[in-house]
Structures are given as structure tokens and as C-alpha cells.
Structure 1
């Protein structure tokens, strides 16, 4: 098959991090760096399979990252695709990269996972393409199986299929056979070989322990040791080359593994370490002198240069998928994952629709016996606190359970240039916000009769909207934290801590606002819970049931004096009551001067309702901008690898 595309690497040098470092070291730039790739050159044509072999730390993955333009650090040399520089945009549009780990969205089937990848292909052609890819990867029998129920081999083949859907001209694979048994290793390599021949795709893969049975499927091989090339060229010519330099492969020995061991530093003893280092250095020098002749033999005779010159006229960059089509595909994928009616989908439905009302039902059980006596002021204050706290904390819990899966998939797909953070959040919010609205309406309907009646429908709607706004704010606050915090439990703890501080200082329930220091008092103006709590306090404590003085309990009224009077040992006849009505309770909690709480403006209904929603809308917009900010590569790598 004539070559259609040619990838060339010429004298690549790369200097980067040579050992893991802490986040602080990364930020301060104090990481230990060194030369990872040293004068690497290779050529791969369409329809060829190239295996990059080497022990751990040899530079295999670094080479893939250099080709894919994902690497951060100084690079010298040229990466050419048909004599044109390989830019990041060219790689993202025309090539594919199968990373060692790929996270799929639970609840989707194999066919749905492949179908809901943003591409320019029309719906009908895409269905045909999906069926063809599943057939090529031996996944047709698992088309309707959920991704979480796949075996290791099936899961690995699906990660390859996600890239093949985009019809790449070059496909990079990082350890595609890692942790697979021999039979499945053979299956994956044979599939990749068939794909490369069938579609003219240049396949470049890394392997740490190659088996002899994959030898026939590899047209070319590259041996790396600590960034140096020990051999690069055709697998057939490899045997002749090592024979020529005095290292013939023993009879019945796996040539791939034999020469890999020859290219690996022996660390079993100091003597073996020094000896193997000298040997590898000699092999590297011999290849620089004698290797080019064997590399030329691996290139087909004829018009190789003519092919490159001709194909260089083919435009590499293509028109990108429209923003609206991408957004629609992502939104549809979210819907399919949510309404899949499988275990993962039912879990999402429960969390999004049922979990919050169920918890509010528990809240109703605790407060259903509220009666209009003096203790009702404290009880109703606790009711407000719990209503706000439950709304916020359940928003956090639902987010840390549902969102990380989509977040991780976003970080992996944005590396491929499929879409940006703004589109991702818009589509996620379009699904999440309506669900939370209906969930909070149902939850409010459970507890609202405890403090009002449905004869006042607007008051019920406002009550529900306040709780909904608090839920949205907590959800979006957690999404902000999960942008940079990978562990969902850590993200939940951070978000919960922030919410607890705001509840304690701003709600006026756990501590009177007027008792705060000035700097804390003015700081509460920057929190949503101050306005949400103020609205609910006004709605509940200025209710008609609390306008008149309330008795101490069911058998004792309040005295008009300020002292507790006792008549005899039979018990008090008149009890001192602290609050004359709901207005006096709110005055104690909110006013810093001796002014009427009604006229102070702090409980103004329309203002508090508007500001509560302004906070919710503001943090949504803030997140859209936040997810558009380019993050450091090491931060994105936490979610990609």
C-alpha cells in the first residue's frame, strides 16, 4: 500500500522533569530536570506499526508526548507530517492518542460511548462508522453492555475505538497491552495491525515486555535506553543489524525481548551496572555510525520523496466541529447517562430527584410538632438553620458524587481539543439545574406547611426559590473546588468547611449578627447565606401566628414583669417570656443599634431575594470563566493520567 502520510522526527532533544515532585516544587520551579530524549530520529509511514521498546524511564512516554505536542519544556529538533510542522492543532484534528488510562461515563453502553464523541460526521454515517469500529475491534458482541461491566481487554479496545472514531492518520498508544494476558495482548496487537493496513493509519505504540508472537505485526521498532536510540528501523532488518555488530539473537529466543534486555541497564550489582552502561553506550555509538544504512533498507524502493512532496499539498488542518453541534452531543450524552435505567443511571436519578426530598422528609419528622409557645422561637430558628444547611450540604454531596466522572472525562477530552471548559459547564448546568429545581420544589412542599399554608402560593414559591438558590451556590462552589482538587472527598471537605463558616457567621442563627466584630459584620455582606437567612427569618418570624405574645407553654402564660414569680412549691404560676413576638426576636438577632428591625432594611424581602439569586447566577458565570483559564500541564495531568 502506497504511503499517504509520513511522520518524521529529526534530531529530537527534550529536557524535562526526571523524577516526581511536590505541587510546591512544581509551582516554585525547583524540580530536578535532565535530558530525557537525546537526538531521536525516526520515520513512520501510513499503514505501518512502530513499537517503541524500552524499560521504565527510557523515555517512551516522553516521546509520545513530544509527538502529540503535550509536553512542557524545551524541545529541539523537528516533527514533520508530510514535510509540514506538526502543531498542536494539527495533531488534535488529524491524530489520536490512546493514553494508559481512560475514564468513561458510567451508564453508557459501548455503542453509546463511541457514538457520543463530537465529530463532523453526520448522524447516519456516524452510526455506520461506530458499527464498523466495533467490528474492527471485536466489540460487536458487547455493543449494548455498560462500560463499567467490560473486561480489561474490552475496556482497552474501547479506548482505542474512541480514537478510531475520529479517523486519525496517526495513532499513538501508551502501553495498550499493559496488564493483559498473552491471548488478549496478541488480540490487541493484531487488531492494531489490521487497522493500520485497512485505513492506512500509522500506529506508534509503546511496550515494556513484548512477546514473540507480536513480532510479525510490527513493521518497525525503536529501542530506547535513557533517551538514547539503541536501534531504530525495520524489524526484519533488526536481526541483520545486530548480527552485523556482533550480537546475534540466540536460536529459539524472542528477538524483541532479547534486544530489549540488551538495551536495559542491569542494576543487580555495581559491576553489572557499570558493564551494562558501557555496553549500551557502545551500542548507541554503533547505531549512529552503522544504523542509517539499515534504516534506508527499511524504506521501500521507489518514489518515497515524491510521495512526501506530493502529499505535502494535502491540507492537514480541517474545519472544526461547530460549537452548537459539540454542545448538543455533550448534552445528549449527559441525558443518556442519566436516563439509562441501569444501575449508574438509577443512582443519578435518585441523587438528582429523590435524595433531597427524602432528606427533607426526615427534617419534617423532626419539626412536625412545632407549637406556638415561647420555645417556638428557638425551634423555628433551628428549622431555618437546618433548611439552609440541608440545601447546601446536599448540593455538595450530590456534586462530589456525580460531577467528578464528567470532570475527569472533560479533562481527557479537552487534551484532544474536542471542546473547552465553557461548553462543558454550560451543558452540565443545563441538565443539573432543572433537576435541582424540581427536587427543591418537592422538598419545599414537604416542609413549608410547618411554617405557612398553601393558601399563599407566592410565599411558597419564594421559600422554594431561596432554598434552590442556596443549593445551586453550594453545587457551583464545589465545582469550582473540584477544578483543581482531584480527590472528591477532599473537595467535599473544603466546600463543607466554607459553608459551615458562612452559616455560623452570616445566618444570624448560631450567633447574633449584631454581636460580631465590625470586620466580620461587614464580611457577612459578601456571603449568600446572610441574605437567604434574612429572607427566611422575615418570612417565618413575621408570620401572623407570631404577632401576638405567646404563652410560655401549654399551661403557663407570661407575666408582664421582668422577673420570674413563684407562688409555692407546686410550680410557677407566671413565667417571664423573653420575646414578645417574632419582631422582637429578629431585632435581637439582626440590629446593631436600638432600631426597629423592620425599618433597618436588613430584612427587606425583594432585596434579599434578588441578592440571593444574584450570588447563584454570579458563581455560575464565575465558573464559566474559571474553566476557560489555561491550567498548568501538571495539574491537567492529574486527571488525564
Structure 2
């Protein structure tokens, strides 16, 4: 099933970048340390071949033997013609910048065009320079960590991967990939219940479903037991032969039983190439330079130890570093013939690959990708499994449950003077509940999809605007159903069901508040990774707005002028004004309410004087007088002054919600710094 002959070639690649972690402030001011990560790396891999990129951090033992030939290379000095001692000391200073990295992941990032930093040299696919667009269309990258959406089965994860295939062809491809990766028996199992080996194979399947010609894998066997390590590598070898894919994978500790599946190997030490070429030619090369592999030894691990810096003491560090420098120079001189060799028959290099094999095939349409993402989100939400039921509860039942508790608390409410304070608490709890439930739901549900978006955006599948549109298309209808159910529970304390339009207005107002809080939290989560920090920040903003703008906890007329005018820029002002008018202008509050069952205020002279109302027990004449106390700054009638005008308040409440949606769409169009995006993909 090899569709064509593809060759990935790196020629004298140098890459400079960040060599130690830096804080956000250091990234901004540019004070992080940088250095050369890859140094004159050249390699080649063909269709149907598997190449292992090896490099270690700590060597378990030290070689005491050295060949005379290597000693002569070392004594000749480095390319800068300095003495061995000076060259070693200079190298030590460079190693202090990057004491642990061998350059394996940096190599994959350079090939995939994801590396941030200056790159010199050539990266060619069939003789054409590898661009980001070419890699995204024709190649695949299985990262070390991949966050899949919970609630989806293995088959659904593969089927909802955006590709140009649709319908029956895509279903057939999914079944074929599952069979090739030994996942058919767990096709109906959710991702959160997969073993580590099954999860890794599913990550590989997500890329294989796209038919890549080059597949990069970052530590696919990390933390797997020997049996599953053998299984994964053997599956990759079979896939490379079946699909004609050139596979490049990094490994930390290669086992001897995977040796037959590797056609090529690349040894890196601190960015330098110690050897690259066929695995079987590797034995011939090291034997020729005086390092034959002992019998019954794992050659992959033996030469990995040979090309690793020994850090157990300064003397061993200097000696092993000196030896590796000699090996690097030796391979530059004599490794040209081995670099192109392989354990399989090499294809004809003289053919014009660029003209005969198309490298840019186009992408699926935005509508097709959007529909696939929407169907995936909907399937993850409407799922009768653990993660799906959790999402359904949060989206549909959490808010009605909170309002049911409010109903149980306020159902004994009596029409006495203290009902003004009680009903104020009802309005506050209605608003605070819908705001805070929206924040909690967003914090618990959105980050998973956000992380998956940032990971898939590296593949060029879709952008932030399309992601938000599809997420809102799923989330907003669920929020409407939830708010409608909650409103039906609490509305008897606000109005009468006989007026259907008023009840509809009540639902729409709470829905607009829910959408605003949800979109506000999503905006914060775009730049804040930690869920708890984002939740605290969003709740803090909401509490400030409720305190200052709603007129519930503090009278608006008592605010300073600058705070009073600032309240016009908050949604809570208009939402609270609508609810306050709805509650306090009801027919039950149009008259002077009794103080209690024993004291009636109807016959008391409730005339306001300079010192207040004559009767201290009967403070409020009616609901309208109560609203004037909360809102009026110049003793005007708040009902007819426009402050509590219903259509105006509900219109602005919805305007804030729609404005927040548009703001988020605009924000996701802005390019974020690579350092910010990277932390969301982890």
C-alpha cells in the first residue's frame, strides 16, 4: 500500500534556542539563556523505514578503553584549532547551559517546524524545503503528552479526527487503523479507561488516520513495560511497511528486542551527531573505529552509553566529554558512507520526487472541520458513560438544583415589612447563583476542550474562532435548557405564570447573565492556565460587580460619582434593575405591608419627615418607595425615570452577553506568544 517514495533529509542543520526553563518575566525581558541545541545534524530516512533517535541523560557506567585512532583525532584538537584542554573547558561552559538535553525533542520540533529560534541548514522532503504548511498537510507528530476528550470511545476519537475522508470511507479507515494498532477489542471503551499502552496506540492512530508520509513520535514507549514496548515498536514497524510511512521516534532506553524493527538509528549527545545510518551498518562502523559490541550485549544500549556524558564526577565528565568530541569528529570524517546506508534496499534517488508525488494536497473545508468538531463535542456531552453523565449533570441539572434549594428556603416567605429585605436576598441569590454556576461549569468543562484545541491547532487543523463557534454551539443551547428549568422553579416568587411574556423575559435575562459569566471565564482561561486561579479571578470580578452595581448589597444612590457612572459599564446593573422592578412592583407590594401578624401598618401615618418615617416599625410604604431608596439619586420616580425601564434593561443585559461572545472571538484571532501557547499544551 505504499503510495509513493518519500525521503526526509536533513543537511547540516544548526538550531539555537532556549536551553533552560525561564519564567514569564524572563521571557518578556529576554533574559533566559539560549545556546546551540543542534549542531551540524545530517540524517536521512525513507518510506517504510523506522528511525530511532537515541540520546540519554545519565550513563550507568564508564568506558575505560579508547582506541589509538580516536586518541589521535582528539589530540588534533577541534575545528577551532585550540588545544584539547582549552577546547574541553570551552565545551564545559557550553554544557552548563544545557546539562541534561541531548537534542532529541528539539530535532523533532525542527523537522515539524515548531521550533522557536534560528535554524540553519536544509530540511527536505523529496528534495523540497519542508515548510510548516507542507508538514501539517503531509506529516504527523505524536507528542509525548496528548489530552484526549473524556467521554468519547476509541472509535469515536478516531472518527471525529478532522480529515478529508467522510462517510463510509472514513468508517472503513477507522476500522483498519484500529485493527493495525490492536485496538479493535477496545473500540467501545472510553479514553479515560484505557491502559497506558492503549492510550499511546490511540494517539498514534489519530495521526495514522490522516495517512502521513512522515510520522514523528516523541517517546512513544515512555514508562511502558517490556511487553508493551515491544508491541508498540512492532506495530509502528508494520505500519511503516503497510502505509509507506517514514517513522522517526525518540527513545530513552532502547531494548534489544526492538533492534530488528529499526532500520536506522541516530545517536545524539548534546546536539552533536555521534552516529546516524543503518542499524546493522552501525555495528560495522563502531567495530572499525575500535569499539566492537561485546557478545550478548544490547548494541543499541551499548553505543548509547558510549555516546553519553558521564556526570558522576568532574574527571569522568571531562574524560567522557573529550571522548564524545572525538567520536563526533570521527563520524564527520568517515561517516558519510554510513549516513546514507540502510538495512533495506534504498530507493532510486535520481527520480524527480517533487514532480511525480504531490506534497500539498489541501485541507478539509472549514465547514467540514467545524461540523466534525461540533459532532465530537456533542458526542462527548450526550454520553451515558461516566464523563458524559458528569457533563450532563453540570450543564443541565446543577443550576436547577441550586434554584430548588432557593425555593425550599424562600417558600415560607410572608408579606410583612421584612419581606423587602427577604426579597432583596432572593434577587441577589438568583443573580449570584446563575453567575457562579456558570463560572463553575466553565472551569470544570472548558479547560479539557481548550487544551485539546491548543494541541490540534499546532497541526493547522483549525483556529480559535472555529473552536469557539463550535463550543458555543454546544454549550449555549444546554445553558438555555438549564436556565429555563431553573426559572420555572423560582418564578412563583417573582411573578405569575399567567403572563407568558413576562416569564419568557425572566428566562432570557437569566440566560444572558449565564452566557456573560461563561464567556468571561473563557476569556480568562485563554491566558490563565490554572483552573483555580481563573475561577477565583472570575468570581472576584463578579462579586465586585454585584456589590457595586446591582443596588442590592449597597444602594446605588450612595456611591461616589465616579463609581456611580462606572456601574453603567457592568451587566449586573441592568440585570438587577430588571429583577428588582419585577419583584418590588408586584401587586402584593403596592400597599403598606404590616410589620407582623400583630402590628398593622395600614392605619399608621406613613409620612416621611426630615427625620424619617414616623413609625419605626413600618419603614416602607410600598415596593416603589423601596426601589426609590435603592436607586434614586435626585428623588425622582424611579419607575418613570428610565432607570428601571424593562425593555431597556433586558436589551442591555443581552448586549453585554453578545458583546462578550464577540470579544472572545476577536481575542482568539490574536496571535498569542509561543511561550503562552506551549503551557496550555502540556
Return the TM-score normalized by structure 2.
0.90
Corresponding residue for residue 629 of structure 2:
588
1:286 match? 330
Change (3 A) 1:574 1:630: closer
User: Contact conserved, 1:230 with 1:287, CA < 8 A, in 2?
Assistant: yes
Which residue of 252, 261, 265 maps to 2:305? 261
Counterpart in the other structure of 1:54? 55
Aligned position for 1:524: 567
Instruction: Supply the distance in 1 between the matched residues of 2:202 and 2:322 (Cα, whole angstroms).
Output: 43
Post-superposition offset of 1:299: 8.4
3-state SS in 1 of match to 2:210: coil
Q: Distance in 2 between matches of 1:37 and 1:20?
A: 17
Query: For residues 129 and 485 of structure 1, what CA distance do their matches in structure 2 show?
Result: 38
Whole-angstrom CA distance in 1 between matches of 2:236 and 2:669? 36
Distance in 2 separating the partners of 1:3 and 1:424: 34
* CA-CA distance at 1:296 after TM superposition: 3.9
Is 1:120–1:320's contact at 8 Å kept on the other side of the alignment? yes
2:349 alignment partner, SS class: helix
Pairing 1:202-281 to 2, within 5 Å after superposition: 202-281=246-325
Q: Is the 8 A contact 2:10 2:121 kept in 1?
A: yes
Structure 1 residue 587 displacement after superposition: 1.0
CA distance in 2, matches of 1:399, 1:520: 29
C-alpha displacement at 1:394, in angstroms? 0.3
Shift in Å at residue 595 of structure 1? Answer: 1.9
Answer yes or no: is 1:82 the counterpart of 2:126.
yes
CA contact (8 A) 2:56 2:252 kept: yes
Counterpart selection for 2:641 from 577, 587, 600: 600
Of 83, 103, 111 in structure 2, the residue corresponding to residue 67 of structure 1 is 111
- Alignment check: 8 A CA contact 1:552 1:575 kept: no
- Report if the CA contact (8 A) 1:4-1:311 is conserved: no
5+ residue gaps, structure 2, are 58-100
1:473 to 487, 501, 516: 516
Structure 1's consecutive aligned runs of 4 or more residues displaced over 4 angstroms after TM superposition are 299-303, 561-564
Q: Please tell me whether residue 33 in structure 1 is matched to residue 34 in structure 2.
A: yes
- The whole-number CA distance in structure 2 between the counterparts of 1:272 and 1:333 is 55
Give distance in 1, aligned partners of 2:257 and 2:522. Answer: 48
User: What is the match of residue 570 of structure 1?
Assistant: none
Q: What SS is found at the alignment partner of 1:78?
A: strand
Say if 2:388 is the partner of 1:345. yes
Deviation, structure 1 residue 557: 2.2
Q: Name whichever of 489-498 and 612-621 sits farther off.
A: 489-498
Distance change (3 Å), C-alpha of 1:187 and 1:303: closer
- Partners of 2:606 and 2:618 within 8 A in 1: no
- Residue 563 of structure 1 and its aligned partner are, at CA, apart by 10
Please, which moves more after superposition, 479-488 or 555-564? 555-564
Taking a change above 3 Å as real, the CA distance of residues 3 and 313 of structure 1, as seen in their structure-2 partners, is closer
Structure-2 residue corresponding to 1:433: 476
Q: Spell out the pairing of 1:527-566 with structure 2 (5 A cutoff).
A: 527-558=570-601, 559-560=604-605
SS in structure 1 at match of 2:545:
helix
* 1:576 CA drift (Å): 3.5
Task: Please say if residues 485 and 491 of structure 1, whose CA atoms lie closer than 8 Å, have aligned partners that are also in contact.
Answer: yes
Deviations 1:344-366 (A, max 9, x none): 11111111111111110001111
**SS in structure 2 of the partner of residue 8 of structure 1:** strand
Distance 2:346 2:575 in 1: 77
Shift of 1:2: 10
Instruction: Pick one of 609, 612, 618 that aligns with 2:650.
Output: 609
- Contact conserved, 2:263 with 2:343, CA < 8 A, in 1? no
2:79 matched residue in structure 1: none
Asked if the contact 1:37–1:226 (Cα under 8 Å) also holds between the matched residues in 2, the reply is yes
Residues 410-468 of structure 1: per-residue CA shift (max 9 Å, x gap): 11111111111111111111111111111111101111101221111111111111111
Q: Aligned partners of 1:332, 1:116: CA distance in 2, in Å? A: 7
Aligned positions, number: 632
Q: Contact 1:3/1:45 (CA < 8 Å) preserved in 2? A: no
Gaps of 5+ in 1: 565-572
Q: Which of 435, 438, 443 does residue 395 from structure 1 map onto?
A: 438
Separation of aligned partners in 1, 2:570 and 2:20 = 43
Show the counterpart of 1:620. 661
Write the deviation string for residues 374-420 of structure 1: whole angstroms up to 9, x where unpaired: 11111111110000000000001111111111111111111111111
| 2: CA distance, partners of 1:574 / 1:631 | 63
| Secondary structure of 1:410 counterpart | helix
Change (3 A) 1:30 1:101: same
Mapped partners of 2:364, 2:311: distance in 1: 51
Q: Deviations over 1:567-592 (max 9, x none)?
A: xxxxxx97532211111111111122
